[in-house]
Every structure is written in C-alpha cells, then in structure tokens.
Amino acid sequence: MTALSPDVREAIEAGNLAHLVTLNPDGSPQVTVVWVGLEGDEIVAGHLAEHKKVRNIRRDSRVSLSMETGGFDRRGFANYLVVSGTARVTEGGAADLLRRLNDIYAPGREFPAMPDAPGLITRISVDRVSGVGPWATA
C-alpha cells in the first residue's frame, strides 16, 4: 500500500466521478462510475446492494480507478488520475457514506430514497498512481 500524496488526496476528495474497474469471472474488465471518498489512506465507495462489481472484488481484488481532475498539463492534455490497487469489501455503513458523499457530489440534491439495509463499502488500498497531472511520473 502506498501513502497518498496531498495532490492525490485532494483529487479523490474533490467530487470527481470515479470510473471503477473490476474483473469479471472470465477476466474481462467491468466498469461502473461511482462516488468516492477517503478513510485514512483507503479510497472508499458505498453500495446499497451486492452489485456485480462487489461480487467481482470478492473473487479478484485487483481494481483500477480513474477520474478526470480538471485542467490541462503543459502539453494541453486533460489532467486525470489513475490508481491501481487492491480492494476489500466490508459490511454496513453504505448509507452513511453515501449521504456524506452526496454533499460533495450532489450538493443541494437529495439522495434517492435508500432501502433499509446496511449495504457494503469497497475499500481500496492504492498500489500505484499514474495519469496526467502533478502525480504523473512520466
């Protein structure tokens, strides 16, 4: 696990939509767009049900997550962040997390009615950071 730099932490907490990639049983990639936040050095996303991405992570913990972060680098290419990491799923806490993220991603809009269920949280430990922006190494 990699400790996250201030630039990366800021991008993750800024309300940028996250494209979460998991691996299907046949090894092909699956993508959904999710809201994310931080808890310590883990990236967290809440799920109200046992979605396909959750089942994928339980079987193969390798994930990637990418987000557009706004602005351009000096060549004129759009900035974006990619993290590669290892995910785990914990039970409960999804509704509280989604309500917290709703204030960041959809301020002033009410979150759709939630089922009375504890839900699940995906927690991603970051192994590698890439993309275009202050976190790019190339």
> Is residue 54 at the binding interface for a copy of itself, with CB under 8 A as the rule?
no
Paired tokens of 63? 């994930």
Q: Which of 2, 7, 9, 30 binds a copy of itself (CB under 8 A)?
A: 30
Q: Which residues contact 47 (CB under 8 A, 6 or more apart)?
A: 53, 54, 94, 119, 120, 121, 122
Q: Which is nearer to a copy of itself, 64 or 122 (CB)?
A: 64
> Is residue 98 at the binding interface for a copy of itself, with CB under 8 A as the rule?
no
What order of strands is seen across the sheet that includes strand 78-91?
29-34, 18-23, 62-72, 78-91, 120-132, 42-47, 37-39
Paired tokens of 44? 């967290």
CB of 22 to a copy of itself, least distance (A): 8
Q: Phi, psi at residue 40, to the nearest 5°?
A: 65, -130
- The count of chain residues that interact with a copy of itself, using the rule CB under 8 A, is 30
Residue 32 CA to its chain's centroid (Å): 10
With CB under 8 A as the contact rule, which of the stretches 5-13, 36-44, 80-88, 90-98 interacts with a copy of itself? 80-88
Looking up tokens 């339980």 gives: 58
> Is residue 19 at the binding interface for a copy of itself, with CB under 8 A as the rule?
yes
Q: Which of 25, 29, 40, 70 binds a copy of itself (CB under 8 A)?
A: 29
Q: Which positions touch a copy of itself (CB under 8 A)?
A: 17, 19, 21, 23, 27-33, 62-64, 66, 68, 75-76, 78, 80, 82, 84, 105-106, 109-112, 131-132
